[in-house]
Amino acid sequence: MRRGSGQEPFAQVCRTRLEAFDCRYGSMLAFSADNVISRSLRLYGEWAEHELHVLRPFVAAGTVVVDIGANIGTHVLPFSHWVGAGRVIAIEAQPTVCQVLSANCRRNGRYNVDVINAICAETSGRRVCYLNYNDEQNVGGISFSEVKASGWRKLLRWLPGFNDPRVVDIPVIALDDLSLTETVSLLKIDIEGMELDALRGAYATIARFRPAIFFEQNDAKRLSDTYDYLAAAGYRMFWLETHPFNRNNYRGDTENIWWRTETGVIAIPPRAVPPGGLVEARRDDASPPSELDARAGIAIEQPISRRLEDEVYGDHTLAESRNS
């Protein structure tokens, strides 16, 4: 039996579905039809700058950052710069999205990024998924947490010679399977409801390195279980509500298209100092806090450099590092 790889020829994807944008952290390919990240890159040349600004102090030079649900690399590119001689492990489940992620790393010379096409969960294996992008306006919003095939899809899987590019066989890994030896400073997890599964598969990694952990949490679903899991490891958790609109955005665009904020939880290991002004999360919280006015946006007073080439890490510039 043949199944689709889930990957269109990449040259065809580039011709028909992608746009290139000059952005804060370099040149980025993005899906033309995507109405969230791609739209933000088109208008503002950046995505989630407020969130990145808060996470920056938790990324130490020379360490490893693991980005689970890396999408096309809007966080991977700045992470890869901030770690300097360290590295970023970027895990993305969707095969075509992972191709774009890899291309964005190559086109910006981010050779300290290891890209892995896999679903990150509690145990390793494989998962057959149905991916249909025809009507998808938020490529990053596709969830693998509860893939339930209908009867006809189950039947089609076993028909001889069946080949549907929308039916994709994707590897599943547990983060602990990577047996990381370098210090991990940050885990960032945004996988649409599977965050706890990924954390359970990272038990040994978390126990060994005690990284800061940031995960998406737009509602209270599974919050109590996630809270109990991390609290047992000594973590304190804080709600992180962020503005998607930065008034000091890369393009200087003054129009705010966003009507709601983004929410997640940042888990702080023992003895680490949490960012100021955050609301501590409780296991029985009924919903994330909603204290910010999304229409106001935020002006990050000292925005991260407009382009990676302008930054300095360690004791030498990026240009110098390329020549060393």
Distance CA 236, CA 265 (A): 10
**CA atoms of 245 and 263, how far apart (whole Å):** 14
In a domain, 3, yes or no: no
pLDDT tens for residues 34-91?
A: 999 999 999 999 999 999 999 999 999 999 999 999 999 999 999 999 999 999 999 9
What pLDDT does 13 receive? 59
> Phi/psi class of residue 84: alpha, beta or left (left: φ > 0; alpha: ψ in -120 to 50)?
left
Query: Is residue 158 one of the residues assigned to a domain?
Result: yes
Query: Which pLDDT value is given to residue 22?
Result: 98
Query: Could you tell me if residue 2 is inside a domain?
Result: no
Structural domain boundaries enclosing 260: 10-323
Burial class (CB in 10 A: 0-12, 13-18, 19+), 80: buried
Question: Is residue 4 included in any domain, yes or no?
Answer: no
pLDDT at 250: 96
Within a domain: 1:
no
> In Å, how far are 37, 127, 167 from 1, measured between CA atoms?
36, 16, 12
The model's confidence at residue 17, banded by pLDDT at 50, 70 and 90, is confident
pTM of the model: 0.84
C-beta atoms surrounding 236 within 10 Å: 15
Tell me which of 309 and 153 has the higher pLDDT: 153
Which CATH number is 62's domain given?
3.40.50.150
Query: How many domains does the chain fold into?
Result: 1
